[in-house]
Amino acid sequence: MSIADVFTVLNAILGFLAVVAALEGELEWAYTLLVMCVLADGLDGIVARRFSRRWNLGDFLDIMADSASFGLAPAVILYATYGDALGHPDLGISGAAGRALVLVGGGALIAAGVLRLARFCFESRADKRTFLGLPIPAAALMVVMSIMVGVPGLAVVALVLVASGCMVSDLYWPKPLGAVGGVTGILALLLVVARLGDPYVDGLGRIAGALAALGLFWTLMYILVGPFAVRVLVSRGLIPDPSSPEPPDGADGCATPPR
């Protein structure tokens, strides 16, 4: 194991704790723990780049941890939050119909997430500055931020279905490196600190709400603008066209190289 792998394992443990918190009815803790998963996932990448080393185990660990933290955990949180009451009674959605919609949304999130991770595991592209399909942490972050700011349950499920479609699409998103990744990390860190300190410091709850709204806006902008940003970067020659065919040079990601 490398130092980066420690943060990957931490990501998986935090995802497990988020599921436990959701099942125990501690939804506020579940939301916070999922944001902490995003922080651990980001630290994993930062440490890996800092030490400039690749570890075969780390490639597999990333996929396994992300499946738990950003696939299973947000789906369980979604059901724990809206499983009994989705939307307003005036919408004409019964309890059974609402529960079914939440199950469909959670199932779509998990299915698209594992498909997205499997494709990432075996995709082979020379350009490492883009993702084929929406990254699963962005989808998970959108789910928890939407719930935090009080977006209606029906709208959250709709956003989940859209994000699920984006994960398995043939669109490209830029990797959140540099300023984009920095802003995401800072917002997530400040949000976690504000939520953990809310019971002890007056006013932190309002700050946490504002940070959650800002985080949701930032995440939605990444989801919506990402594919267009890639096309602009390609047209200006700043990055190679990720959709251009490449010679087969073996699988990338966590695939086992040929002997």
State pLDDT tens for residues 152-164: 888 999 999 999 9
Q: In the predicted model, what is the mean pLDDT of residues 89-117?
A: 84
Q: In the predicted model, what is the mean pLDDT of residues 100-120?
A: 92
Sorted by where each starts, the structural domains of the chain and their CATH numbers stand as 3-235 (1.20.120)
Asked if 246 and 124 touch (Cβ cutoff 8 Å), the reply is yes
| Residue that the structure tokens 């953990």 belong to | 196
Q: Who wins on pLDDT, 218 or 244?
A: 218
Q: Which of 165, 212, 184 is nearest to 45 (CA)?
A: 184
Q: Who wins on pLDDT, 196 or 176?
A: 196
Asked if 120 and 136 touch (Cβ cutoff 8 Å), the reply is no
**DSSP string computed for 99-161:** HHHHHHHHHHHHHHHHHHHHHHHH---S--SEEES--HHHHHHHHHHHHHTT--HHHHHHHHH
pLDDT band at 209 (very low <50, low <70, confident <90, very high): very high
What is the predicted pLDDT for the residue at 259? 38
State pLDDT tens for residues 117-153: 988 877 755 557 888 999 999 999 999 999 999 998 8
pLDDT band at 237 (very low <50, low <70, confident <90, very high): confident
| Residue that the structure tokens 């917002």 belong to | 187
Find the range with the poorest average confidence among 7-21, 82-96, 145-159, 229-243. 82-96
Quote the CA–CA distance of 31 and 100 in Å, as a whole number: 22
- Measured in Å, how far apart are the chain's first and last C-alpha atoms? 22
Find the range with the poorest average confidence among 104-108, 225-229, 255-259. 255-259
Name 179's Cβ contacts closer than 8 Å, sequence gap at least 6.
Answer: none
Count of CB atoms situated within 10 Å of the CB of 181: 14
What is the predicted pLDDT for the residue at 56? 59
Asked if 175 and 222 touch (Cβ cutoff 8 Å), the reply is no
pTM of the model: 0.87
State pLDDT tens for residues 1-58: 778 888 889 999 999 999 999 999 999 999 999 999 999 988 887 777 676 555 556 6
Classify each residue of 53-92 as buried b or exposed e, where b means 16 or more C-beta atoms within 10 Å of its C-beta: eeeeebebbbbebbbbbbbbbbbbbbbbbbbeebbeeeee
Share of the chain above pLDDT 90, in %: 54
